[in-house]
Structure 1
């Protein structure tokens, strides 16, 4: 137990601040749509999914000289389309008729963009994504070892939002009780975050349900060569075919070919899908607008369907306001636990009790004696 306590303390002391920042940024990102509705024109507009509107918008946006690579369409909670360009950080918000409302060329120009870049990539692209996933796994170990350390002290459990006293013993008492209480939420947040960032971890979690080879084969795009993109492409024909393939589904993302010979791709979200942009796909020839292939997300292997739950659960894209508040609590709890672990560790890295008698007098002998070891 002593070794476990030492490992837990050092883990918290070394990565606690990063976990705290990830928790805080995650809690803020849960409310990104509300922030945009309050600050960006047309963000509160009602969602429009009729074929005529979508086709006219796509024709207008993709006809511009500096056309985007893809369009993420408005949702029920956010009335803006997001345009993404070939340049990594260049993007724009447009209304549902295709008129650009705000554009930027750097993530630092938009608070929600740089906040997401930090939370998902730690400002370091793919390398930061891997580090973030590793932090998620370390956080999981932090929670599990914390539960083991808390168990012998469970009889003195107290529910407090903030430590009763800011002594080392008082903070440790609060830290363990709060961590134990919110452990299920923290495990959910950390596990789904790590699974999204680390492919091998995601595959390991789904291995009991579907093999890696089966999931990879199911997600492989069609090997069909398309023609050059037509200047006068019939977008009504394209959108109509997509809707006919998946009746009742939302059109979520329209993507142009990345290179010569590629296909137009439309992502759809069926009612049963939790993923906000769905995983049902339809592909079209860029010259004729003819549908050449499709993939139903509901027919994917079980492991793939379980993997598609990671993002909506992690980012609170299901469950409405109640679940968004739950995940906000999870993020803020991680912030508090991580920050206070750093304070207690660097205030006394050795872990040896200092002025134990004074601390016991202030906080109570029975409780603080257990948390000063």
Structure 2
């Protein structure tokens, strides 16, 4: 009993201090994560690019050639189209986008996005992505505006969050009988410290699994290479031999994005185009991301087709199968896409829970270690 008591004290101290030191970062990442659940509306407020449009069947294949033509007209003569983002891809909207560079990179081009009316394939408006506050908010959530170092910090933060949840359950667990009695115990009586401890204990227990899931999925999202090699976030790496074959292709033809789309859909019948990367001066092939409407992974297409920009018969395909899909499913859970229409409410519930636990934890830590209150 003495050893157990000593172990609990050590864990309680670590839980308190590690939680307190990480609390501000957790609060900032949580608030930004809740905000970007509304990235589409936020970006519309900034740019006017994503108005409400009468629902279009998501099963319809996008006419990428028409969309690219409209984007070029909207964005200007120097616009270099680089890809297509379907509805609910990187920015959660009901409206597709064509993205590219306002001018070639060596001429100082910026990332430019043209939103498209999916019913008419006409351009709505265009904007520069890096000039928007919403994109800045997204970057902050993913990497704290600190590049690769920020990604590592966010990934470690997810691991710490999960460990804190496990340790918290260990500390909460009744030493003697009375599990359900304690699980139901909740009181807002007493001073701020008592109220905070009750809230932290009650919601920490009932939401522990949720916290672990969001912590681990966040870590994987930031650093997928830390996960098992068998789990892939998506099929985004073209084998070196295939790259070399496409780069050295001697065909004199030109394969348009419209033709590439047709070849991709023929390769995987019954799928839809989720995203696409167009051939560019530095990339002699198109990449089509495909998925089915009933796929669990939602956001990341688990089927990819690479089509040479000069040889119509030079096509390479990849598909994630079995356990490999867990990577994309992980990302769909963390982004909330798994929950469909409940995506935003779920993200808000998770975010508010993390804010509550962070703030109440800080209050209890401060009272206990700086005010000498053992309660």
Give the TM-score, by structure 1 length. Answer: 0.78
Choose from 338, 342, 353 the match for 2:362: 342
Partner of 1:83, secondary structure, is strand
Partner of 2:198, secondary structure, is helix
1:172 aligned residue = 197
Q: Output the CA distance in 2 between the equivalents of 1:147 and 1:17.
A: 22
Partner of 1:152, secondary structure, is coil
Task: Please list every run of 5 or more consecutive structure 1 residues that lacks an aligned counterpart in the other structure.
Answer: 354-371
Tell me the CA shift for residue 192 of structure 1.
Answer: 0.4
Tell me the CA shift for residue 124 of structure 1.
Answer: 1.1
Distance 1:91 1:3, change over 3 A: farther
Tell whether the 8 Å contact from 2:68 to 2:98 is kept in structure 1 after alignment: no
Partner of 2:276, secondary structure, is strand
Tell whether the 8 Å contact from 2:257 to 2:278 is kept in structure 1 after alignment: no
Tell whether the 8 Å contact from 1:46 to 1:79 is kept in structure 2 after alignment: no
Choose from 127, 148, 151 the match for 2:170: 148
Pairwise mapping of residues 1-373 of structure 1 onto structure 2 (< 5 A)?
1-33=8-40, 35=42, 40-47=49-56, 50=60, 53-61=63-71, 64-75=77-88, 78-85=94-101, 90-95=111-116, 96=118, 97=121, 99=123, 101-107=125-131, 109-111=132-134, 113-152=135-174, 154=179, 155-158=181-184, 163-164=188-189, 167-203=192-228, 210=230, 220-222=237-239, 223=242, 224-226=245-247, 233-257=255-279, 260=282, 262-273=284-295, 274-297=297-320, 300=321, 302-350=322-370, 352-353=372-373, 372-373=374-375
2:3 aligned residue = none
Tell me the CA shift for residue 166 of structure 1.
Answer: 5.1
Partner of 2:372, secondary structure, is coil
Q: CA RMSD in A?
A: 3.4
Deviations 1:145-185 (A, max 9, x none): 1111111285344576x955552122112101111111111
Deviations 1:285-339 (A, max 9, x none): 1124445111233xx3x33211111111011112223354233211110011112
Partner of 1:78, secondary structure, is coil
Q: Output the CA distance in 2 between the equivalents of 1:351 and 1:150.
A: 23
Task: Please list every run of 5 or more consecutive structure 2 residues that lacks an aligned counterpart in the other structure.
Answer: 1-7
2:4 aligned residue = none
Partner of 2:173, secondary structure, is helix
Tell whether the 8 Å contact from 1:238 to 1:290 is kept in structure 2 after alignment: no
Number of residue pairs the alignment of both structures matches: 341
**Higher RCO (CA < 8 A, seq sep 6+):** 1
Q: Output the CA distance in 1 between the equivalents of 2:252 and 2:20.
A: 58
Tell me the CA shift for residue 127 of structure 1.
Answer: 1.3
Deviations 1:88-114 (A, max 9, x none): 97342411436261312525x232x12
Deviations 1:41-78 (A, max 9, x none): 44535346655732221345479522132221235951
Q: Output the CA distance in 1 between the equivalents of 2:126 and 2:236.
A: 34
Q: Output the CA distance in 2 between the equivalents of 1:229 and 1:98.
A: 33
Deviations 1:312-368 (A, max 9, x none): 101111222335423321111001111222233234435732xxxxxxxxxxxxxxx
Q: Output the CA distance in 1 between the equivalents of 2:330 and 2:309.
A: 32
